[in-house]
Chain A
Amino acid sequence: MRKFAALLTVLMLYCITAFAQTKPITGRITGKDGQPIEGASVRIQGTRTGTVTNPKGEFKINAKDGAVLVISAIAFNPEKISVVASQGNYSLVLTPNANLMDEVVITAGGLKTRKKEEGYNATEIKGDELNIAKPVDVAAGLSGKVAGLQVSDVSGGVNPNYRIVLRGQRSLLGNNQALIVLDNVVVPNAVLGNLNPGDIATMEVLNGASATALYGSEASNGALVVTTKKGRKGVNQVQLSNTTTIQSVAFQPKLQHEFGGGGNGYGVTQDGLPVFSPIENQSYGPKYNGQMVDLGAPLEDGSQQMVPYSDNGQKEKFWKAGVTNQTDFSVTSGSDNSTLYLAGQYANVSGIMPSDQYNRTSLRLNGTHKILDNLNTTYTVGYTQNRYNITTEGQDIYNNLLNIPGDVPILSYKDWQTNKFGNPNGFENPWYQNPYFELSNNRETVRNDYLIGSAQIDYAPIKDLNITYRIGITTTNSSYNSWTGKFTYTPYAITASGGSKSNIPGAVTSDNDYYTRLSSDFYATYRKAVKNFTFNLTGGTSVRQNQSQNTTASVSGLVTPGLYNLSNSTNFPTANSNSYESRLIGVYGDFKIGFQNFLFLEATGRNDWVSILNPPNNSFFYPSVALSFVASDAIKALKNMKSLDYLKFRGSWSKVGQVNLTGDPNSTTFGAYSLLPTFSQANGYPYQGVAGYSVGNQLVQTGLLPEITKGFEFGTDFALLHDFATVNLTYYSTHTNNQTIPTSISTTTGFSSYLLNSGEVSNKGVESKLSLTPIRSRNWTVSVSGNYSYYDNKVVNINAALAKLPIASYGDGSGSYAVPGLTFPVIEGIDYSRDSKGRVIVDATTGLPQVNQSIQVLGNAAAKDQLGLDATLRYKNWHFYVLFEYRGGNKIYNAGGPTYDWSGQSIRTVAYNRQRFVFPNSVYEDPNHPGSYIANKTVVIQNGNGNDGFWTDQTENMGVTSNYITSAAFWKLRQINLSYDIPASVLRKSKFIKNATISVQGRNLFEWLPKSNIYTDPEYSDAGSASNGIGLTNLQAPPVRYYGGTISLTF
């Protein structure tokens, strides 16, 4: 309060003392984040008169009306203020000059460097940019923004899982996801999704291994180096904001709306048309005609549900609109010796799946304290808890939803407790459950608590020497309880359904997990300048320890309905627990030589010792070298070129590795204890006090080594015409050897998998970015940018004995595979037999397509082309931002596709109006000339219906993978934002609000898919976020769009 009063007094004072001629002008210069800019130069144009801003960003200068003040500050674009008679106080927001080569960024190991010194591709993203569309998960804000970075929402749901990969996949079965570094501490990937995006100051994307070699055995996948906000000296402010976001279905699978329940299996009419069935789940019955029909069997009370036989369109309305509400606050403060940043966020999400809930609360306290002039301390503490209450049967619910004909009034079954036709006893379909009953009867509650913190001391005992010690901790404490409710059917319902409705015994699973990761880093940096050279030597050690423990127990067969406890059962619970521990010691050095501030050579080396491999194979050395040449500083002719702001060339080489005993970056097994085969009790043992063990099915190669990625990259960065255009170009190439593969082997060996070092993958690609800012004035800013990346990876070899390696596959063998000589991964599966022209061979009499039962390559699963296009417009206080993303060059196997056909819902099944048809583009063998084929125009498939016809035939239709493979290309409107800063003149009346912004924004608002993709979002991955087996989707909830509004206030 005292501060406001003081400010008020000052303002009044200025008003009173205003006079003609030169008058005292005051003002305040801030950045876009509202932080004051200290030391900005304020100069009266055409004179030598000038001043600089104080730590609060304030200045005072005497100037005449009509004078022009030129404001400039390092790292910001210059701006001008025209002094007018009516105004004595000006506030100005400077926009950062993002391309300044002297900007200091944080790189591997927490070391700081200037952009000009980086010999590799790195992109810095400001927190504001990440948060522009107000996502709950930071990853969602990253999509499409950085060349070479692929962020995929693999799951949908209330808290989607994201898969974050830089420069494509290089490890066949190991982890390919970017390393996440939070405030210089390497953290598990799951931490990223539990950060409040508002807490992020910057994120440095280090695309390749050269940039990250100092991280040693975790470095091969590039890194996202996240730095959270800190307080700033002389800035005391409070921010409050609230965002409300709606989620609604953005893409509905294409369904047929013409035919209802029944099929030829129930008989055919005189005209050969299929007969209606009131209980059939498959929609292969007669065409809708609007007449009243029975639905389901009569109930015990004699009542019979009747509906008009027509599609009521309720299936698509099953998904509801979800709402996300985020409330944020942050406090920033700073004095001469210490700074403070305190923030909190509460986000509450309800999803499109009815009754799914998620909420997340996060708190953060970051601070610095200067103890001595040469002794600084820094601390960060983040606490996040998230809670889920969701159904466990998402896919099955979707399956059930599809297996309900279109005339069934699904929405009325929501109240299954009160609606007798929605109740399981009276539900029309004896084989598939009421989706509403299923979602309320199969649930889980999940609790995850994260504590992430770091403490750091920086000590400079002598000039040019700096010693840093940092300790970091990430600890996760989580539990879940999942259950299926008990349901006892009435004897009538069981009998009426022919026993297909059978009692649900109920089950409970309880799980507790704990995970702690401790890291301790110590390093010293020594700087020395000798004539034209600068030397920078860093040496350090890093020690890491991972510990986890997990206990799970479950029981089936509940006694008291509604009580979900392990003790509530007629059976004993089965339980198991596991604990894991792994350690790593690293010793590293970094040596940098600079010549005349335009040529920089950096060499790094690191040796790691890991506990999860056996000596001597547990020690590895990872070197890298990088060279950066700022031509625009070195060559006078370039330096003098007015149109060239800067021009830099860079190149680097590195060798890094990772110990890939687990492919999941969030795995809490850490790959520990993987070297020896195990024995475990099996087949019901122990029985009656006797143990019975089975030999484990995995063999392990003796002397396993880590995977090694060797690679180089080179590129250039330049800016033209005072930042009118900036360009980054990078080419890279890597080879990853010694892949650690638990490869499947013939079961006749007695084992089913063999963990060995084998295989090589090569990755090559280009990353490019072009930014144009055609207009930059006080009132207007227009900039557009595009980033494009292309990559090509190839499995060079796997193992002499292995023709291919399944990465993620289904029971029928279809799935995502690594195949030598091909890009990685590819989709494999079953196809029809084809002639040399690719036409399908059909039986000459039945017209049925012949199936080639061998599993073959059907397409590339990795998106090769990725394009991000964005535009920023500012007019006075209005800001507009839009981002589009395209990915393509790949295919997707919609493994849920057969269900659409089975249920008779898919649009495919009405391609021939359910009549007999000639299989398209087909041939049959010439009876007179075996081996040659005649184009088929006449031989028809007689039963062009489902139920017992072609469309539900496992062999000829549903089991043929290629029927469900489509292009995986997409265009998405990733982000859009329109915001308005309420003018200072308005806010001044409130006396205490410094800034107020109102915005509306959306994410994934529109999605454009190729016509062939009638199923779902190709970003989804049925194999989950941890698996490299991309290219597979299943019955995941439909993709959603997000849109909402935000109010943000600064005090």
Chain B
Amino acid sequence: MKKISIIILSGIAVVMLGSSCKKYLNINANPNQSTSSTPDAVLPQAIVYTAANISSFNDYGAELGGYAANAGGYGGFGSNWTYDFGPNDYAGLWSSTYDALEDLQFVLNSTQGDSLYPYHNAAARILKAYNYELLVDTYNNVPYTNALQGTTDLTPTYDDAKTLYPLLANELDTAIATIEAANTNVAEALTSGTDPLFGGNETSWIQFANTIKLRLIVRASAMVTFSNTTFDANGFLATDAVVNPGYQKATGQISPSWGDWVQTYTGGNGNRAWMPCTFVFSFYNGTKLSDNARGSVIYFDYPATPNNQLGVGLTTVPSAPATTNGWYSGSTTSLGSAPGIMKGPNMGEPLMLAAESYFLQAEANVRNIVSGTAKTNFYNGIEASFNYLYLLPDDKTLATGLDPVADAATYEANNATSYLVNYSLATTTAQQIEAIITQKYIALNFINSQEGWNEYRRTTYPKIVDGSQDGTLTFASTLSQSSRPDKLPSRLLYPASEYSYNSANVPTGISPYTSLIFWAQ
């Protein structure tokens, strides 16, 4: 009898257990992190992420493109000196850009066709095209059509860079159309908070899209066909496209370039291993051109700024300035709240300068891609460069006593004999293009250096003397192992992760000397 009651009792216990079991185990909701989000919350971060990546692209462009060279006190430059790139060199550019693209893709996926979010959708699409152009210009063929699909495709195939360029131009057209078709009564406007790039100014977004499209077409129209080569009537960027969500000297919130190159938010040293390159310096100090105005806002202790040729060894090269650390701060004592390249820990991160927009238009004029006067755009570009450099960290206020218009005029007067400055002297198309690209190269110095490097590879401007050992005549490393006549590399390798995880698709046999980006020489 006793036995039976025990069996019954345990039977009841099991039944009770069964019914409450489900409830007892239903505790797997994440109390720590969100498992969902909204376009409003993701878009601003994606914009700031893109800006952070641009800072890395600028480093890459500066280190390869003659803007920066190794500084004293450091060794281990390895492939920075030899150009014998391995798959781990600059691999972060690839992974971070795709990571930012995924955030943009989330915005696109969650806003597609939603009348509430056309502006979010368009902004994400424009930045997607912008980021993909960065990838193509660095790696040539990259996954696009099948990329960013998560588990749907774990090993995306690579799109041919030549077919990708027109697709990106189409995306920009779609974005512009989306903005223009938006129902302003329904659509949620971007604000200064959700749009740290243009503060919700949709005209600027359209101009930005137009300018990126112009860059694609200028760069590639010689070898690929674009389906639509007309541009929206809103025209091209006339102001700098600068991201600033409110960078400040605080944990994780410091302006990326400043944090990398000058000081961390706690006052620790930035990167001291690189210094101004002799090559680009020769465009300021009178060796090739004379540009004291911009030189002295850009460089520490200008014109006495130490500079070096990439590859020249340890001991003879001065170390970074002891007191201010930053090479790119136009002062010998104070840091921050200054004009120049490194303006302060609160400075914005330019995605595209107005100067670049003007120089692109000038080239487009020369090549009859858009109508207009190349000379006007050329001078506008120079003036815009002065203007950006003279702005304080807020990117709005000109530094006291600095006048970009007047100084640009002085610059033009001081270099009146050079066709690189005096556009009237550039009589041939080649000279005109050289002048435009060289001025662009100068304007992008340590700001968007990757574009300077791209344009060199496309046009071979600014001119260098192949194989020269003179640091003012070439920016190639003295220890270059490149087989090219100019002793420069032609591109980076795909990252090791692609060979590990997407080995069936990643192109093999890539050489850092002979494999070219499709538009490159």
A497 neighbours in B (Cβ, 8 Å): 322
CA separation between A853 and B496, bound complex, in Å?
A: 9
Q: Given A587, A692, A699, A747, which contacts B41 in the complex, CB threshold below 8 Å?
A: A692
Q: Give the complex CA separation of A947 and B155 in angstroms.
A: 42
User: How close is A563's CB to chain B, nearest CB, in angstroms?
Assistant: 16
Q: A555: nearest residue on chain B (CB-CB)?
A: B251
Which of B28-36, B117-125, B329-337, B399-407 forms part of the interface with chain A?
Answer: B28-36
Q: Is A748 a contact partner of B143 (Cβ separation < 8 A)? A: yes
Among residues 9 to 66 in chain B, which have CB atoms less than 8 Å away from a CB atom of chain A?
10, 14, 17, 21-22, 24-37, 41-42, 44-46, 48-49, 52
User: What B residues does A749 contact at CB under 8 A?
Assistant: 147-151, 153-154, 156
Contacts of A574 in B (CB 8 A): 251-252
Interface status of A92 (Cβ within 8 A of chain B) = no
CB nearest to B479 among chain A residues:
A948
> How distant is the Cα of A404 from the Cα of B332 in the complex, in angstroms?
33
- For residue B25, which residues in chain A have a CB less than 8 angstroms away from its CB? 583, 585, 609-611, 618
* Segment touching A, from B92-100, B227-235, B388-396: B92-100
Most chain-B CB neighbours within 10 Å: which of A610, A615, A853, A947? A853
Evaluate whether A265 and B315 lie within 8 angstroms (CB atoms) in the complex, with A579-B31, A750-B105, A954-B76 already known: yes
B26, B153, B253, B265: the one contacting A557 at CB < 8 Å is B265
Residues of the A chain whose Cβ atoms lie less than 8 Å from the Cβ of B272: 499-500
The answer for the CA separation of A812 and B500 in the assembled complex, in Å, is: 13
Is there contact, CB below 8 Å, between B498 and A498? no
Nearest-CB residue, chain A, relative to B194: A690
The yes or no answer to A746 lying at the interface (CB within 8 A) is yes
0/1 string, A527-558, CB within 8 A of B gives 1: 00000000000010100000000000001110
Return the CB mask of B480-521 against A: 1 if under 8 Å, else 0: 000000000000000011111111000000000000000000
Which residues in A have their C-beta under 8 angstroms from that of B322?
A: 494-495, 497-499
Given contacts A500-B319, A611-B25, contact A948 B35 (CB under 8 A): no
| Min CB–CB distance B47 → chain A (angstroms) | 8
A673-B79 contact in complex given A695-B106, A749-B149, C-beta closer than 8 Å: no
Counting contact residues on chain A (CB < 8 A from B), the size range is: 35 or more
Contact, CB under 8 Å: B269 / A571: no
- Min C-beta distance of A466 to chain B, whole Å: 12
Q: Is A378 an interface residue (CB 8 A)?
A: no
Known: A679-B35, A745-B154. A692 touches B44 (CB 8 A): yes
A687 engages B269 (CB within 8 Å): no
Whether the pair A688, B84 counts as a contact (CB closer than 8 A) is: no
Chain A residues closer than 8 Å to B435, beta-carbon distance: none
The complex places the Cα of A678 from the Cα of B41 at a distance, in Å, of 13
Q: Are A431's CB and B500's CB within 8 A?
A: no
Which residues of chain A come closer than 8 Å to B73, judged between CB atoms? 430-431, 498, 500
Interface residue ranges of A459-510 to B (CB < 8 Å): 461-462, 465, 491, 494-495, 497-500, 502-505, 507
B188 contacts A by Cβ under 8 Å = no
Stretch at the interface among B165-173, B242-250, B362-370, B426-434: B242-250
Q: Within the assembled complex, what's the spacing in Å between the Cα atoms of A813 and B89?
A: 12
For A747, the chain B residues whose CB sits under 8 A away are 94-95, 98-99, 497
CA distance A748 to B496 in the complex (A): 13
Please, how many angstroms separate the alpha-carbon atoms of A499 and B272 in the complex?
9
- Residues on B with C-beta less than 8 A from A583 are 24-25, 27
In the complex, which of the residues A431, A693, A747 has the most CB atoms of chain B within 10 Å of its own CB atom? Answer: A747
Q: Chain B residues near A813 (CB, 8 Å)?
A: 87-88, 496, 500
**A578 interfacial by beta-carbon distance below 8 Å:** yes
**How many angstroms between the C-alpha atoms of A127 and B426 in the bound complex?**
92
> Taking CB as reference atom, which chain B residue is nearest A266?
B315
B28 A675 Cβ-Cβ under 8 A: yes
Instruction: Give the distance to chain A from B180, nearest Cβ to Cβ, in Å.
Output: 27
Q: How far is it, in angstroms, between the C-alpha of A541 and the C-alpha of B36 when the chains are bound?
A: 37
B313 touches A684 (CB 8 A): no
Q: How far does the Cβ of A1048 sit from chain B's closest Cβ, in whole Å?
A: 48
Interface: B266 (CB within 8 A): yes
B2, A694: Cβ atoms closer than 8 Å: no
B78: CB under 8 A from chain A? yes
B150 CB, min distance to chain A CBs, angstroms: 5
Interface residue? A596 (CB, 8 A): no
Partner of B501, one of A691, A701, A744: A744
Contact check: which of B149, B196, B246 meets A750 at CB < 8 Å? B149
- Closest chain B residue, CB of each to CB of A799: B154
Please give, as numbers and ranges, the residues of chain A lying within 8 Å of B33 by CB-CB distance: 673, 678-680, 696
Nearest A residue to B505 via CB reads A746
Given A581-B27, A804-B500, also A746-B45 (CB < 8 A): no
* Residue A697 is within 8 A (CB to CB) of chain B in the complex: yes
CB <8 Å contact, B246 and A687: yes
8 Å CB contact of B314 from A265, A585, A754, A953: A265
Contact between A693 and B268 (Cβ–Cβ < 8 Å)?
no
Asked if B133 is at the interface of the complex by the 8 Å CB criterion, the answer is no
Residues from chain B with a CB closer than 8 A to the CB of A675 are 28
**Given the interface contacts A265-B313, A505-B267, A612-B28, does A952 sit within 8 Å of B75 by beta carbon?**
yes
- CB pair B267–A503 under 8 Å, yes or no, is yes
B26 in contact with A676 (CB, 8 Å): no
Q: Nearest-CB distance from B335 to chain A (Å)?
A: 13
CA distance A614 to B28 in the complex (A): 9
Count of A-B contacts judged by CB separation below 8 Å: 270
> Nearest CB to that of A467 among chain B residues?
B6
Whether A955 contacts B150 by the Cβ 8 Å rule is no
Query: Is the C-beta of B200 less than 8 angstroms from some C-beta in chain A?
Result: no
Chain B interface, number of residues (Cβ within 8 angstroms): 97
CA of A574 to CA of B250 in the docked complex: distance in angstroms?
10
Q: Is the CB of B502 within 8 A of A746?
A: yes
Contact partner, A499, options B10, B24, B79, B325, Cβ 8 Å: B325
- Say if the beta carbon of B467 comes within 8 Å of chain A: no
Question: Residue of A at shortest CB range from B157?
Answer: A748
A751 within 8 A of B: yes
Q: Which of B48, B49, B79, B95 contacts A752 (CB 8 A)?
A: B95
Cα of A745 to Cα of B98 in the assembled complex, Å: 12
- Enumerate chain B residues within 8 angstroms of A697, measured Cβ to Cβ: 99, 102
Encoded as 1 (CB less than 8 Å from any A CB) or 0, chain B from 260 to 286 comes to 000011111100100000000000000
- Chain B window 65-89, contacts with chain A (Cβ cutoff 8 Å), 1 for yes, 0 for no: 0000000110110110010101110
A556 touches B52 (CB 8 A): no
Is B320's beta carbon under 8 Å from chain A? yes
Q: Which residues of chain A are within 8 angstroms of B24 by Cβ–Cβ distance?
A: 583, 585, 611
Q: Is the CB of B246 within 8 A of A688?
A: yes
Asked if A811 is at the interface of the complex by the 8 Å CB criterion, the answer is yes
Q: Does B101 contact A (CB under 8 A)?
A: yes
Q: Enumerate A630-670 residues with CB–CB distance to B below 8 Å.
A: none
Interface residue from B17, B88, B193 paired with A541 (Cβ < 8 Å) = B17
Residue from B32, B48, B153, B320 with most neighbouring chain A CB atoms (10 Å): B32
Q: Is the CB of A748 within 8 A of B98?
A: yes
Q: How far in angstroms is the closest Cβ of chain A from B197?
A: 13
Residues of chain B with a CB closer than 8 A to A942's CB:
none
Q: Indicate with 1 or 0, residue by residue over A709-748, a CB within 8 angstroms of chain B CB atoms.
A: 0000000000000000000000000000000000011111
**Complex Cα distance A498/B3, Å?**
88
Within 8 A of B (CB), among A572-604: 572, 574, 577-583, 585, 587
Assess the B245–A680 pair: CB atoms within 8 A. Answer: no
Contacts A/B (CB < 8 Å), 16 sampled: A555-B251, A556-B265, A557-B267, A672-B28, A673-B31, A675-B28, A678-B34, A681-B45, A683-B252, A688-B246, A693-B42, A693-B45, A801-B155, A801-B501, A803-B500, A855-B499
Extra contacts, 9 of them, besides A505-B267, A572-B251, A948-B314 (Cβ < 8 A), are A431-B73, A556-B251, A574-B251, A614-B28, A673-B31, A692-B41, A695-B37, A701-B151, A749-B147
B residues in contact (CB < 8 Å) with A: 2-3, 6, 10, 14, 17, 21-22, 24-37, 41-42, 44-46, 48-49, 52, 72-73, 75-76, 78-79, 82, 84, 86-88, 94-95, 98-99, 101-103, 105-106, 142-143, 147-151, 153-156, 193-194, 196, 245-247, 250-254, 264-269, 272, 313-315, 318-323, 325, 496-503
